[in-house]
Structure 1
Amino acid sequence: MPHTPLPPKHRANARSMRKVMTGAELKLWNELRAHRLMGLGVRRQFPIAGYIADFACPEKTMIVELDGTQHAETDALTSDEARTSRLAQDGWTVLQFWNDDVIRDIDNVCQHIVISAGLADTS
């Protein structure tokens, strides 16, 4: 998949965001990093098409977004829908989870990611 040109400002912003992860992002990252989840290679704060995805698995063209309560507001919902639509145009599948889901039920979140990546035996 070809890379979308990325302004240096976006790359620098992504780099700085990796240093200040939320509690939910850190908890999920500890499950995903170093191919810990079924061998998935996941990158954090990954710049794609003018956006910075919380987590991305380029091999599976899958993005995982973690959202706080501010994403339930109308403006944020509209923005999230536009982002998801734009990323889908490039072939990405976007999974969205609430921060609270990650904090309270990390196992279920990880299971959903594995199933979405096509790595689970669903028979």
Structure 2
Amino acid sequence: QTYNFDISNPADLRRLYNMPVYQADRMKRPLEGMGFQLGPLSHSGVRVTLADGSQWLVHKGGGFGISSQTVVVSARHMSSSWRIVETKNFQGQRTVSDFVKAGGTDYSLLFDNCHLGAGRMMN
């Protein structure tokens, strides 16, 4: 499997992971190849907004990452099929890293999927 990285420099990654999150939007979209959402037949993630206005999607899935199945990607890659489910203001009291940790390193369709990870991130 090949992975595309928005940021690969360790110093830049560390900087991103330590950035405070001001707003978090829990998002949902249909599964790849499906034109509709039906409860768990959808994909969830959390789009975080940082002080500089940049937005990043924190989400998880089987085979998404290398050391963790919860990954951070630029929100520029999000399709128009994503919809906001819930919005919360974190006032910079949490970092991108806190959201990744809440998402969890492992993925299990039944016991630790994208919806459960996104729910933990919003708590």
| TM, length-normalised to structure 1 | 0.27
Give the number of the structure whose residues are more often helix, by fraction. Answer: 1
Relative contact order, higher structure (CA 8 A, sep 6+): 2
Give the number of the structure whose residues are more often strand, by fraction. Answer: 2
